[in-house]
Chain A
Amino acid sequence: MEKMIEQANPSVERVRWNQRSIYRVPEFIKKMTRSDAYRPQFVSLGPYHHGEPHLLAMEEHKRRALVHLVKRAGKPLAEFVAAIEQVVDELQAAYGDLDDKWRGTNRSSFVEMMVTDGCFLLESIRMASIILLTDEIDDDYAANDPIFSKRSFLTLWLTMRNDMIAMENQLPLVVLERLFAVQCGRPPVRTLYLVRNMNLCSCYAMCHSKQQFFVPFNIRDSWIKIQQNSLFYVARALLYIRSVFSIERWGGQLFCATSSGVQPPRGRHGKQPGPPLP
């Protein structure tokens, strides 16, 4: 105790709290509200609910996603692992109340989990952008794949999306940045995640079906900035994902495909209708 008093230092504490961004929801909050709202129902991301029986079914598919991603990238798995190992301290500090089973000698299992979950998320986002935003068929997965085929993915996406915003099921974005950098063979950059609005196809839609880069679109604030054809994809995603209401909610900034090409929406709320798409 004496030692703790000596060592107490606000600036050290500030750094510690600053690194922390993912939390276990305290038991009393769960009791007051709904205990299952903060935990994953389908796929676990990160350490808090890793290995729980009802989430085990997805473990195999997470590993499969990793295999596909690594194979496509044509880089050794060790490179992905090394990229995460570089930031492992930062990652562990991001989790409040991290179990001891991930620390010390078991750090490698923590790294392994981060690589697997990160690759799974990257694959999911890639699939979301291909399936929800374009009509392309991805031949990297079998047409009857239980997770990554078009039909399965469309069925599962809303569940996955809900799991992706559960408080106890978060993965620091740093993981995705590092893995994505290795995949593309570029140094990692702090990307400005302009893609907002999870209600959309994804909070973070990276459109890298052909070109491997993040397409920054932010339909909420300004859609003029949006690249013209990616807007059409966004519109398509909206139609897939939610009911007509969602489209209304975003001010009806939607394009509808007709026989004569793609038509801009009628301007609502005094907003300018957009330029016609090619």
Chain B
Amino acid sequence: MENNLGLHFLDIYHQSYCGTRPHWQGSDSGRSEYERRTPCAVVLSEAGIKFKKSDTDNIHDIDFQNGVLTMPLFGFGDETEMELLNLMAFEWLHPDAGGDVVEYIDFVDKIIESEKDVALLSSKGMFVNMSGSDKKAVQMFNTLTKLTGSINEDNRLGHVKGKVNAHCRKRRNKWRANFVNTYLSNPWVFISLVAAIVLLVATLLQTIYTIVPFYTKG
């Protein structure tokens, strides 16, 4: 009970960072669904996964449904690394603190592998960089993950990873995403696609009309 009241400032900060943990009973269909990692944001987006900022600020508010991955906004500033290192060190040293931050950072780290991923997430409004360079953010995650150790995947985020990977494995999703990326990326490409189809159909019709009289005359 005492713990809930806070031990020191870092503990209070930790409690506030983690927010309330949603109830999670485990998935219905066994262990196989939990996975260790997901591809990075760019690869996910090529597989047709859309990104959406979650409504709340809660680090537990991560979900994957109908091809949309929702995640809370990640703010990156000059002191972010120091804050997260202390939160994660506290979880490491104080077993009662749980492992919410470690699990969250581990998840985000898988999504953010390179500066391209940071740029992609920024364009979706899910990442705000106040410190300037995206490279620094990527480096930060490389440092932070040294503190994640071997985390337990038998939890909600492990399940979300499983769902994301299952989506990526379906070839149909990849093709559809490829089509959308190539032909629907801007109106001009789409117009030229429509024009090409119209021309193709018109040429086909012309050919038919040329061929048909040739036989009916005879």
Contact in complex: B79, A204 (CB < 8 Å): no
Tell me, in angstroms, the Cα distance from A122 to B13 when the chains sit together: 17
Q: Contact string, B72-96, partner A, CB cutoff 8 A, digits 1/0?
A: 0101000101110110011011110
9 residue pairs bridging A and B, Cβ less than 8 Å apart = A23-B90, A29-B92, A33-B85, A33-B146, A37-B85, A172-B8, A173-B5, A173-B12, A250-B57
Q: Give chain A nearest CB distance to B118 CB in angstroms.
A: 15
Residues of B within 8 A of A250 (CB): 57
Contact in complex: A193, B143 (CB < 8 Å): no
Write the chain A residue with the least CB distance to B57: A249
Tell me, in angstroms, the Cα distance from A38 to B57 when the chains sit together: 25
The yes or no answer to A272 lying at the interface (CB within 8 A) is no
Q: Which of B8, B19, B93 is in CB contact (< 8 Å) with A220?
A: B19
Which A residues from 218 to 272 make CB contacts under 8 A with B?
220-221, 243, 245-246, 248-251, 269-270
Contact in complex: B86, A94 (CB < 8 Å): no
The yes or no answer to B2 lying at the interface (CB within 8 A) is yes
Q: Which of A203, A245, A248 is in CB contact (< 8 Å) with B9?
A: A203
Residues of B within 8 A of A20 (CB): 94
Contact in complex: B85, A220 (CB < 8 Å): no
The yes or no answer to B7 lying at the interface (CB within 8 A) is yes
The yes or no answer to A156 lying at the interface (CB within 8 A) is no
Write the chain A residue with the least CB distance to B19: A220
Residues of A within 8 A of B93 (CB): 23, 25-26, 96, 167
Which B residues from 91 to 120 make CB contacts under 8 A with A?
92-95
Tell me, in angstroms, the Cα distance from A197 to B83 when the chains sit together: 12
Output the residue of B4, B6, B147 with the most chain A CB within 10 A: B6
Q: Give chain B nearest CB distance to A207 CB in angstroms.
A: 16
Contact in complex: B12, A170 (CB < 8 Å): no
Contact in complex: B8, A21 (CB < 8 Å): yes
Contact in complex: A165, B75 (CB < 8 Å): no
Contact in complex: A221, B130 (CB < 8 Å): no
Write the chain B residue with the least CB distance to A270: B55
The yes or no answer to A162 lying at the interface (CB within 8 A) is yes
Total A-B pairs in contact (CB under 8 Å)?
A: 117
Contact in complex: A23, B94 (CB < 8 Å): yes
Given contacts A37-B85, A198-B16, contact A170 B79 (CB under 8 A): no
Residues of A within 8 A of B128 (CB): 245, 248-249
Write the chain B residue with the least CB distance to A31: B146
B→A interface (CB under 8 Å): 2, 4-13, 15-16, 19-20, 55-57, 73, 75, 79, 81-83, 85-86, 89-90, 92-95, 128, 130, 143-144, 146-147
The yes or no answer to A196 lying at the interface (CB within 8 A) is yes
Q: Which of B79, B90, B147 is in CB contact (< 8 Å) with A32?
A: B147
Q: Give chain B nearest CB distance to A60 CB in angstroms.
A: 23
Residues of A within 8 A of B79 (CB): 158, 162
Q: Give chain B nearest CB distance to A10 CB in angstroms.
A: 15
Write the chain B residue with the least CB distance to A196: B16
Q: Give chain B nearest CB distance to A73 CB in angstroms.
A: 22
Q: Which of B10, B16, B81 is in CB contact (< 8 Å) with A197?
A: B16
Contact in complex: B82, A193 (CB < 8 Å): no
Residues of B within 8 A of A171 (CB): 8-9
Contact in complex: A33, B75 (CB < 8 Å): no
Given contacts A165-B13, A204-B12, contact A34 B5 (CB under 8 A): no
Tell me, in angstroms, the Cα distance from A162 to B77 when the chains sit together: 13
Contact in complex: B81, A204 (CB < 8 Å): no
Tell me, in angstroms, the Cα distance from A32 to B148 when the chains sit together: 11
Q: Give chain A nearest CB distance to B38 CB in angstroms.
A: 24
Q: Give chain B nearest CB distance to A155 CB in angstroms.
A: 15
Contact in complex: A38, B16 (CB < 8 Å): no
Q: Give chain A nearest CB distance to B75 CB in angstroms.
A: 6
Given contacts A166-B86, A220-B16, A249-B73, contact A193 B6 (CB under 8 A): yes
Residues of A within 8 A of B144 (CB): 33
Contact in complex: A25, B83 (CB < 8 Å): no
Contact in complex: A21, B89 (CB < 8 Å): no
Residues of A within 8 A of B146 (CB): 32-33
Tell me, in angstroms, the Cα distance from A165 to B7 when the chains sit together: 12
Contact in complex: A94, B7 (CB < 8 Å): yes
The yes or no answer to A164 lying at the interface (CB within 8 A) is yes
Q: Give chain A nearest CB distance to B119 CB in angstroms.
A: 17
Write the chain B residue with the least CB distance to A36: B82
Contact in complex: B82, A37 (CB < 8 Å): yes
Which A residues from 1 to 58 make CB contacts under 8 A with B?
17, 20-23, 25-26, 29, 32-34, 37-38
The yes or no answer to A191 lying at the interface (CB within 8 A) is yes
